Each structure stands twice: as structure tokens, then as C-alpha cells.
Structure 1
């Protein structure tokens, strides 16, 4: 056995003095007899070593986290600076948009949507022409490629400024011209311009939408446009346009050719004073003069585009009470064809039925009249072609038809059904031009044309 002193010293040793009694009782202390017969006590101490390696690892992790926090804080500072720049740019952009929206020269999203719609229609037209002609000509592939390119340009330039819009419309007009040529080859074979060796209108082509009016405003829904039906030499390509936001007109703009019309670059503007203000929208240009309706006094008026001189003639029988169905004040409707110059109106004597009158261009007077059997107020509009008056009416929101014809050569009238599509529901001006055998329509602020196909048989 171990001497008593040795046991006491062992018990008082710092290494074991603090061990709980429970550890002793639970077998943390054991004894054995050595080789010399002495008593040996075995004490198993708990793991009380301080985890210095773990603390060091945590310190290193903490340092890494602090570095990352500093990096993210620096990024936040940078983002804050960029955000201030973006906010300033956004404010500047808001101001630019406000200025653009308030400008009379501004354009609207409808322009680009219209371009997309028209491009899709042209793509369908190319496919239709290719199928109807059963042709695999490279021209169709070329046109299809141009349509795809124009679609990409529209998408890219939608957010650009006004000058780019004019550029795309110019390119669009050139593409449209090619498509019209293809359509003419399919719809009209060798048109006999200036002659009337046919039995009347056979069909009207699909509408060709040129563009929104020169004011670039859909509110200018009343007006007219087209070409001189009897142009002076050197003015064969001239176009005219006049419109307002009421059934009236205060000015007529002249464009030297089709490209200038598209670019809205007028070479001359005739402003109308209050004493010569135009009323109604069924005016035309014929022989370098604008013929339009004037209400004080109620008369047909002539404006010479060269001298800017005015003249007027009162038609005693004409009434200001009867108008076309689409809008008010469309009382005197002027038209020109291969035969000459005409005016259509209704009178109290005819009880609202249309009267057709031939105008003597030299005397600016009425030389002949015909009473027809169609009521003016049920008609959408009317025009003359080869001495025959054709009257239109609405079929539904998207379609119109020529339903009546009166032949001045025979005095006969006919009920017809020649349908054609409208671009939009209402229009204020429709007239035929004998120089290219086209119908010119001013449809709710847009320039629209149609090819006219005559029955050669």
C-alpha cells in the first residue's frame, strides 16, 4: 500500500484537487498494484486544453468577413453614385419626353405600329402576288428581304428622334413604290391612261396607306390630298395637301414630287384668309387651281396656284343642308376625269337627291346638269371617271362599296356592288385622278390610294 503521506500529497496536487466528486465516483479514478507491491492511483482528467487553434481560425474568418464587408460597402458607395447619375439622366429624359409630347412636330407610337402593320400587309401581298403569278422570280425574294430589313429598322429607330422617323418613312416610301409596281402588274395590265375604251369600273385594289398627314397629327382627320388632275408642264409630279381638325381648311400645301410629300417638304403654302376660308373637304386641284367650297357666300371657289387669285360662282339650286354620311358640311363635291371638271351637290328641288353638273373651265360656270336617283345623305362619297358618276356607301366598319353609277352619256343609272377595303372607318375626301387611274382618299388623317381596274370587255 502507498504510504499515507504519498496519498495526501497526491490528493492535494493541483492537477486533481478540482476534480468533482462525481468524476471520482463514476470511475474517473482507478487504482492498481505495481511490480514492487506499491499502490498506484490512476486519475483520468477531462480535456481542459484551451482550443487556441479554433480561436485562431475564427479570427482569420472574421478578418476575411471584414474585408468582404469593406468591399461590399465600397460597391454600395459606387452604386449610390451611379444611381444619382441615372436619376439625373432620367430627369433629363423626362424633360425631353415632355418637350417632344408638347411639340407640334412630334410623332406618336401609332406611327411605328402602323408601319409594322403595313409591313406585315406588304409581306402578305408579296406572298399573294408570288402565289397568284406562280412565279419564283428573284424580285419577290428581294422584296421579302427588304421588308424584313425595314421591320428591323422600325424596331431600332422607334425610340429615336424626328429626323430618323422622316428617314425611315422615306425608305418606307421607296419600298412601297416597288410593291405598288408589283401590284399594278397583277391588278392592272397596261392601263390606258386618258382613254375611256371600257365599260366601267371592274374592281378596286386593296388600299395603299402612304403615311400620316404632314402635320403628323391624327387630330387632323378632315382634309384632302392628291395630284393635279390636269397638270401644267413641269408640274406632273406635284402633290397637294390641306387638312384641319374640323370640316374646313385654312391652307393648302404643295409638294414638288412624291418624295417631298413623304418628307413633308412643301415648296409653297397657300394660306386662306378668313374671307376665303374653305368649308368641307371635297376639294381637288385641276389645271393648276384648287376648287373648293366656300360658305360666305355659299359658292364654289377657285384659287389659282400661280397668281394666288380667287374667284367664285354661286350655284343657285345648290343646298347647304345635304351632306355625305361621314361628316357635315360636305355639300359641294368637286371631281375631275378624262372628260373634264365636275361638281356634285343636292338641292331642295331634288329633295336631297344628288345633282351632277359639268363646269366650264374657261367661264367657271355650269354648262350642263343631270338629276340622279340617289340620295346624297346615304352616300359616303362620290367621284367621276370617264363621264360616269360613281357613288359609295359603307358596308361595315372595314369595307365600302360602289353601289350606284350614273352615266352622263346615256342618262342611265345602275345599281352596282363593287367592294373595296377602308383603312379606317370614316373618310372625308375621295376623288379619281385620270393621270394615273387611281383613287385618292383622305382617311381619318392618313393618305390612302387605290388602283382602279376598268372592264375592257
Structure 2
């Protein structure tokens, strides 16, 4: 009887999530009298559904949702405080101006009162700055926790009945969307200069923000890219795109209406490239509903307009197929878009592998201008453009990248720096800047990863020992 009860208890804890394949009852008597034992043997499935883990996930989801609500309330408080502080600063400015114009109308007591008010405002602003930094840290913590939970759910979906985890996934999706909206509001309040080039350079890159594994649910899809349209057409402002492969050949691309559908892996369009128009390499981008990418036959640039479904190609005289980035093959052409337009970078045999920056005329798909840099392409892991400035990145160690080189196409001067940032995984195949949100988008060993950027907003252009580079000849194949 004792053995039977033990079996029923064991079975009750597992039967809801797994079936009992074989079981048998074996009774035996040992010794004399009525003494004996009853033993039940149950051969349970090798794996059972981890209901305890799911309960923990659900409880954590509730906790994260509550924490996020508190941060949203704080954002509203920040907005009210900033408005109040701005009004106080404006009033102080008027008082100081009057004192400067009519110094004889005021005494030392009046001056001391103004000094006290200024110090009070300074203290309030410092307190607000500290609160903002604290909230940013909380956002990062929430992001890390949510990413870990979504990864766990992905694994559960692949291993167990999806219907059992679908409700929890929906809950986490909603939390991710709330966090995305909260970060967007935070960025709008404290970084209102998106679209402006009134800064000198990048001074900091955030920690990697990991969205999730790609839509194929496979880390084997190490080649590809993801991001947003850098110049979206109307009603496509929230659109995301993704294209990923297990080789460096580009065959198709997926589009998602918004962040939610990207997370849910629900594209509204899956476009296969036409025969003869497959691409290669990974540094392709979407701009104004057009795909810009590299082709090998003929070796050059390709453009696909998704509005007209029209393909175009362009050969650049002298561009070489011998030079690629240090950690990814076949990336001979790298497309970039910023606040000033569309660019492509490459190397030539005549420049001995030094990178060339070229501005693309989007209407004619021709090359308008070219600039020669002094940076050797095989020594670069990737590159991007911001406000007409070319930024080259190199690998420092297994976890770290560094922005080490800049070339300003306006002044035709180059400079060197050392802005470090972390990778989520070992290698990445695509890194691009998007001027619509001032973020870097990285495709990192199959994962969607992004970074916030900080710019030197107040200092003038940094005067450094610079080498002026001559603009080189336009492409004759325009």
C-alpha cells in the first residue's frame, strides 16, 4: 500500500505534462507473517514539462511589468520637473539681465539672493541628472532580464507543446513593447537632437541591447543583417527588416510592420530575390523602400526598388574583390546611410586596399564624389557613416570592438580615437547606423543587437593632428 501511494504521488506530479509509457506492479513477501512490501515501477518520459520554471517566469513577468510601470511614472515626473526647472532658469536669466543693465538698482543682498537661487537650480539639475542615469540603468537591467526570459521561452517552444507557453510569451511580448515605448519616450525627452548634426563626434556607445535570436530560431544563421529603413516612406516609419543565411549568399529579405511583429517573427512580406539577382556579403541596407546590396555578376552594386519591383546594377571602375573586412568574407562593398545621404565604401587595387568612401546619387544610382582614406580595409571589422563622417571599427579582443578612425568628408580630414564597445557574441557580419533613431544595428552571430550612441553635443569640432586627403576621381560609370 505504501508503495502504491508513493507511485500515485510521483505520477500525479508528472502526469499533467508527460505520459507514462510503461508501468507494472510487483509484489513480494519476505520473511514470515504478514510483513511484506509492495513495489510499483513507473517508466516515465525522459523529459517532463517544467511547470515550476513556467510559474517562475509568469511571476517574474508580473514583477517586471510592475517595475516598468514605476519607471513610466518616473518619466512623467521627469518631464514635469524639467518644465519647472526651465521656467526657473528663464526667470533667473531675466533677473540677471536686469541686474547687468541696471547695477545701481541692486545691492549686495539682492546679488546674494540671486546666487542662492542659481545654486538651488544647479542642485536640482544635478539631482535630476542622477535620477535619469538611475532610470537608464534600470532600463538596461529590465532589458537583460526580459531577453533572458524570452530565450527561455524560445527553448520551451522548441521542446514542448507551444500552446502551453503561448500565453506567457504574449505577456513577455507586451512587456518588451512597453519597454521599447518607454525607451523611446526617454530618448525623446533627453536626446531631442535626433536628426541634427550639431555635434563633433561619437564619445560613447551603450552596452549591447539584445532583442532576440533571428526569425529562423537558429544561431547557425550567422550571415545577414537587420534594422530599420533609414529614410522610410509614409506609413512605413515603424517597419523593421531582416535577412539572414548560413552562407554569405543573399537570397531573400523579410519585412515586419513594427517592433511587435519583429518579436513575434510575423513578417508582412517575404521577398525572394529574382533569378540572377542574388546578392553576396552582408552590408546591405534599406533606404526609402529600396534594398542596396552587392552582386558578383557583374561585380558591383545592386538596387531593388520594392515600390516598383525594379532592379538596377552599377559597376564601379577599379573597385576590387580582393579586400574584405577582417572577420567576414565577401564584404567588398559596404552601404551606409546617414543624415547627409547614401554612401558605399570599398577598396581598390590601385589604393592597395585603402578604403574609399563614395556618395551615391539615389535618383540616378551613380557615384557623385569619392574620398580616399588611409585605413587598410582588411584591418577593419566594419564601418558606418554619421553626419558625413566615416567611422571605422576594429576588433580589440573576443568581447570588445573599438571605433578607432574617423574621416570627415566635409573637411577632408582624418583623426584617430578609441571608443570601446562590447559585442554580445563572438563575431558579427553587419553594423550600420540609422539616422532616424541614432542607433547602431548589429547582426551578431544570429542575434538582433542594437546600441545607443552619445555625441559630443557642446564642444566644437575637435582639433587634432590631421592629414588632409585629396578627393579622388569620380566614377566614370555613373
Q: Answer whether TM exceeds 0.5 for this pair.
A: yes
What is the CA–CA distance in structure 1 between the aligned matches of 2:221 and 2:295, rounded to whole Å? 20
Cα offsets for 1:291-329 (capped at 9, x unmatched): 000011111101122333211111112111100001110
What is the CA–CA distance in structure 2 between the aligned matches of 1:276 and 1:381, rounded to whole Å? 24
What is the CA–CA distance in structure 2 between the aligned matches of 1:319 and 1:147, rounded to whole Å? 41
Cα offsets for 1:423-442 (capped at 9, x unmatched): 11211000000111100000
Report the equivalent of 2:251. Answer: 250
Report the equivalent of 2:284. Answer: 283
Cα offsets for 1:78-122 (capped at 9, x unmatched): x25xx3xx35x55xx79x9xxxxxxxxxxxxxxx9xx99xx9xx9
Give yes or no for contact 2:150–2:212 (8 Å, CA) kept in 1: no
What is the CA–CA distance in structure 1 between the aligned matches of 2:135 and 2:393, rounded to whole Å? 39
- The 1:148/1:272 distance shift into structure 2, 3 A limit, reads closer
Higher Rg of the two aligned structures: 1
What is the CA–CA distance in structure 1 between the aligned matches of 2:443 and 2:143, rounded to whole Å? 27
Report the equivalent of 1:412. Answer: 413
Please state if 1:67 is matched with 2:68: no
Report the equivalent of 1:42. Answer: none
- The 1:334/1:162 distance shift into structure 2, 3 A limit, reads farther
SS of match in other structure, 2:203 = strand
What is the CA–CA distance in structure 1 between the aligned matches of 2:151 and 2:434, rounded to whole Å? 32
Cα offsets for 1:326-352 (capped at 9, x unmatched): 111010000101111110000011110
Give yes or no for contact 1:188–1:453 (8 Å, CA) kept in 2: no
Report the equivalent of 1:342. Answer: 343
What is the CA–CA distance in structure 1 between the aligned matches of 2:261 and 2:173, rounded to whole Å? 11
Cα offsets for 1:187-212 (capped at 9, x unmatched): 98223122211112121111100001
Please state if 1:448 is matched with 2:449: yes
What is the CA–CA distance in structure 2 between the aligned matches of 1:177 and 1:418, rounded to whole Å? 30
What is the TM-score normalised by the length of structure 2? Answer: 0.66
What is the CA–CA distance in structure 2 between the aligned matches of 1:421 and 1:295, rounded to whole Å? 33
Report the equivalent of 2:386. Answer: 385
Report the equivalent of 2:208. Answer: 207
Shift in Å, 1:161: 3.5
- The 1:456/1:143 distance shift into structure 2, 3 A limit, reads closer
Shift in Å, 1:65: 4.5
Shift in Å, 1:420: 0.8
- The 1:299/1:164 distance shift into structure 2, 3 A limit, reads farther
What is the CA–CA distance in structure 2 between the aligned matches of 1:323 and 1:142, rounded to whole Å? 37
Report the equivalent of 1:314. Answer: 315
Query: Structure 1 stretch 298-307 or stretch 347-356: which is displaced more?
Result: 298-307
Give yes or no for contact 2:177–2:259 (8 Å, CA) kept in 1: no
Report the equivalent of 1:428. Answer: 429
Please state if 1:133 is matched with 2:130: yes
Counterparts of 1:39-78 in structure 2 under 5 Å? Answer: 65-69=32-36, 72=37, 75-76=38-39
Please state if 1:328 is matched with 2:329: yes
- The 1:427/1:137 distance shift into structure 2, 3 A limit, reads closer
What is the CA–CA distance in structure 1 between the aligned matches of 2:208 and 2:281, rounded to whole Å? 23
Shift in Å, 1:416: 1.1
Shift in Å, 1:452: 1.2
What is the CA–CA distance in structure 1 between the aligned matches of 2:339 and 2:204, rounded to whole Å? 18
Shift in Å, 1:273: 3.8
Give yes or no for contact 2:292–2:335 (8 Å, CA) kept in 1: yes
- The 1:196/1:153 distance shift into structure 2, 3 A limit, reads closer
- The 1:405/1:142 distance shift into structure 2, 3 A limit, reads closer
SS of match in other structure, 1:283 = strand
What is the CA–CA distance in structure 1 between the aligned matches of 2:252 and 2:281, rounded to whole Å? 13
What is the CA–CA distance in structure 2 between the aligned matches of 1:261 and 1:213, rounded to whole Å? 9
Report the equivalent of 1:259. Answer: 260
Shift in Å, 1:172: 4.0
- The 1:408/1:136 distance shift into structure 2, 3 A limit, reads closer
SS of match in other structure, 1:196 = coil
Report the equivalent of 2:473. Answer: none
What RMSD in Å do the two structures reach over aligned CA positions? Answer: 3.9
Give yes or no for contact 2:205–2:419 (8 Å, CA) kept in 1: yes
Report the equivalent of 2:235. Answer: 234
- The 1:239/1:391 distance shift into structure 2, 3 A limit, reads same
Report the equivalent of 1:269. Answer: 270
Shift in Å, 1:250: 1.2
- The 1:354/1:303 distance shift into structure 2, 3 A limit, reads same
Shift in Å, 1:185: 4.2
Shift in Å, 1:166: 6.5
SS of match in other structure, 2:262 = helix
Give yes or no for contact 2:147–2:210 (8 Å, CA) kept in 1: no
What is the CA–CA distance in structure 2 between the aligned matches of 1:153 and 1:231, rounded to whole Å? 29
- The 1:137/1:362 distance shift into structure 2, 3 A limit, reads closer
What is the CA–CA distance in structure 1 between the aligned matches of 2:30 and 2:367, rounded to whole Å? 103
Report the equivalent of 1:403. Answer: 404
Give yes or no for contact 2:139–2:183 (8 Å, CA) kept in 1: no
